[in-house]
């Protein structure tokens, strides 16, 4: 695929980021796409390797290696190199319902497994995907495709995140009539209110949703199923129900002083900024503001990084980010060979911006909160931090982070954002439908299936598998749609 010696002839070149000084003044995406000529050169670097690990989606060493969607990456790289943009888009859409989302927010598992990266730099797969889908919108390839035949079957999808949207898209293509219920005021779930504009501008979501509406999918926003409308009504009016309501139950930090004013879950903080940005361009003060405050973010994942980047844009006085685990190495360790996912230290956009603005990396490793401090009015004033030391558990062999006695120290903090992950589904949803959950409070199914213990009810996405990546939610949505279709029709061609 691509040019036979392209990987030798062309160096890796990514879409350049705008300067930090410029980009932190707004909430826009901040990369300048390559020209068509440059993008073709990058696609030409695809090697025609014998085993394309980039599209494998295999579990290696306990982690996914390659694309979980099994995207036909070498094929559309070759088509980009040859300038066949429409064919490239058609091949891309065969496996990925929403490349406009994944090309912006996916951590590019494909690139980490690229054969080029075994002894050099990976092909710019994510940038190539971005170029394909944006060219499709620009040239009109991404068009409305209304099903020619309707089956007469109806499906309710509860939740409009990436899994729910995927289920709806797949089943609508098949000819079923799909209604998507969303409790928020806008469609998108995690995509809309969990991921900041800097990574995914919201008109990109709306652009795709508008197409889906024209294709026949019905979206009902501001409807909280389980509260505004009962499960019985849903089950009476639809042949099948898919619960795709996400793992929206945030993990808390239960220490002394947790009730102090000024402590929020990261998802609430990010949602408040995005909603105010969309509603009134942050003019009415309705959002949780970090302006002029000393901020502490608890959690070192993508959500924690998004909080850091958002606080920088708010104009925070200072930002620190706590990570319980030790800092990862800068390069692959010997026990972490290609094509495994590389367990290396990643400095993301938010941390880069904090370094530029505050002069140092905001991350503090092997540290956690022992106590929150507050004044007489209950306002947060600081926190007591304690160092952690890694020790192996004798029974399980797992790494346990244990507090180091005498290492306590105080920091001044006025705003805390808890980005410690999620614990699964919210109880009211699972209880009202009568579906069982596992020990992690995810909706339980038989291994490898999406059918719940209640006939006619299926599940997909984070509420099924636990908190994960957008690309894995899309994969789970596609797999769920196949099962739903087969249960309705007796066979499936999805």
pLDDT category of residue 48 using cuts at 50, 70 and 90 = confident
Same domain, 293 and 404: yes
Percentage of the chain beyond pLDDT 70 is: 100
Quick one: which H or E segment has residue 383? Answer: strand 380-392
Q: Are residue 378 and residue 270 in the same domain, yes or no?
A: yes
Cβ proximity of 400 and 279 under 8 Å: no
Do 123 and 172 lie in one domain? The reply is no
Q: Up-side HSE of residue 422: CA atoms within 13 Å toward CB?
A: 25
Q: Which domain holds residue 429?
A: 154-248+423-489
pLDDT in tens, 63-102: 899 999 999 999 999 999 999 999 999 999 999 999 999 9
| Residues 45, 175 within the same domain | no
- What is the tally of structural domains in the chain? 3
Q: Residue 94's domain is classified under what CATH number?
A: 1.10.1060.10
**Residue located via tokens 């540290």:** 367
pLDDT exceeds 80 at position 2: no
**Domain final residue, candidates 386, 402, 418:** 418
* Structural domain contains residue 243: yes
297 CB contacts (<8 Å, ≥6 apart)? 266, 304, 307, 308, 311, 319, 320, 321, 322, 362, 416, 417, 419
Q: How far apart are CA 246 and CA 164, in angstroms?
A: 9
Between the alpha carbon of residue 214 and those of residues 130, 169, 211, 345, the distances in Å are 23, 12, 5, 44
User: Domain boundary residue among 111, 139, 167?
Assistant: 139
Last residue of one domain, picked from the residues 397, 418, 439: 418
- 254 falls within a domain: no
Tell me, yes or no, whether 185 lies in a domain: yes
Residues 406 and 428 in one domain: no
Kindly state whether residue 1 falls inside one of the protein's structural domains: no
The verdict on residue 494 lying in a domain is no
3-state secondary structure of 288: coil
Banded pLDDT at 1 (limits 50, 70, 90): low
pLDDT for 404-432, tens place per residue? 999 999 999 999 999 999 888 888 999 99
Mean local confidence (pLDDT), 106-127:
95
Q: Mean of the pLDDT values across residues 240-248?
A: 95
pLDDT of residue 230: 94
Both 414 and 427 in one domain: the answer is no
> What percentage of the chain exceeds 90 in pLDDT?
92
DSSP for 18-77? Answer: PPHHHHTTS-S--EEPPPHHHHHHHHTT----SS-GGGT-EEETTEEES-TT---HHHHH
Kindly calculate the radius of gyration of the chain based on its CA atoms and give it in whole angstroms: 23
Q: Are residues 267 and 231 in the same domain?
A: no
Quote the pLDDT of residue 398.
85
Domain shared by 367 and 275, yes or no: yes
Indicate whether this model's pTM tops 0.85: yes
CATH code where residue 403 lies = 3.50.50.60
Question: Are residues 322 and 349 located together in one domain of the fold?
Answer: yes
Q: Is 427 in the same domain as 409? A: no
162-174 vs 202-214: helix crossing angle, rounded to 10: 20
């Amino acid at each position: 695929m691509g040019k036979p010696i392209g990987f030798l002839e062309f160096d890796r070149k990514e879409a350049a980021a705008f300067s930090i000084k410029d980009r932190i003044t707004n909430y826009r995406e901040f990369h300048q796409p390559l020209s068509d000529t440059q993008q073709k050169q990058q696609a030409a670097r695809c090697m025609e390797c014998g085993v394309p690990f980039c599209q494998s989606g295999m579990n290696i060493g306990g982690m996914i290696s390659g694309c979980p969607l099994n995207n036909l990456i070498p094929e559309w790289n070759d088509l980009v190199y040859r300038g066949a943009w429409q064919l490239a888009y058609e091949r891309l859409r065969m496996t990925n319902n929403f490349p406009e989302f994944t090309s912006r927010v996916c951590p590019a598992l494909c690139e980490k497994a690229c054969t080029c990266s075994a002894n050099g730099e990976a092909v710019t797969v994510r940038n190539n995907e971005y170029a394909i889908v944006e060219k499709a919108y620009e040239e009109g390839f991404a068009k409305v495709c209304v099903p020619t035949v309707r089956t007469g079957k109806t499906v309710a999808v509860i939740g409009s995140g990436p899994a729910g949207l995927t289920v709806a898209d797949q089943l609508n293509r098949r000819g079923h009539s799909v209604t998507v219920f969303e409790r928020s005021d806008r469609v998108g779930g995690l995509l809309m209110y969990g991921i900041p504009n800097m990574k995914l501008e919201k008109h990109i979501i709306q652009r795709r949703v508008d197409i889906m509406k024209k294709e026949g999918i019905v979206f009902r926003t501001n409807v909280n199923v389980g509260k505004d409308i009962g499960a019985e009504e849903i089950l009476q009016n639809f042949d099948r129900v898919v619960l795709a309501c996400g793992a929206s139950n945030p993990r808390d930090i239960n220490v002394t002083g947790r009730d102090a004013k000024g402590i929020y879950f990261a998802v609430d903080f990010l949602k408040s900024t995005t909603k105010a940005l969309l509603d009134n361009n942050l003019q009415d003060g309705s959002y949780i503001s970090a302006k002029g405050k000393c901020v502490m973010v608890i959690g070192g994942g993508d959500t924690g990084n998004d909080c850091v980047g958002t606080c920088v844009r708010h104009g925070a006085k200072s930002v620190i980010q706590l990570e319980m685990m030790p800092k990862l190495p800068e390069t692959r360790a010997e026990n972490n060979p290609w094509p495994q996912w590389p367990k290396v230290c990643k400095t993301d956009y938010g941390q880069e911006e904090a370094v530029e603005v505050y002069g140092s990396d905001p991350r503090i490793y092997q540290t956690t909160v022992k106590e929150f401090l507050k004044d007489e009015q209950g306002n947060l004033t600081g926190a007591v931090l304690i160092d952690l030391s890694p020790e192996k558990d004798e029974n399980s062999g797992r790494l346990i982070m244990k507090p180091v006695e005498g290492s306590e120290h105080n920091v001044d903090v006025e705003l805390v954002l808890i980005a410690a992950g999620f614990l699964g589904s919210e109880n009211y949803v699972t209880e009202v439908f009568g579906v069982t959950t596992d020990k992690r409070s995810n909706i339980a199914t038989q291994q490898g299936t999406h059918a719940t213990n209640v006939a006619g009810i299926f599940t997909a996405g984070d509420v099924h598998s636990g908190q994960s990546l957008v690309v894995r939610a899309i994969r789970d949505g596609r797999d769920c749609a196949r099962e739903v279709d087969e249960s309705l029709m007796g066979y499936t061609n999805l």
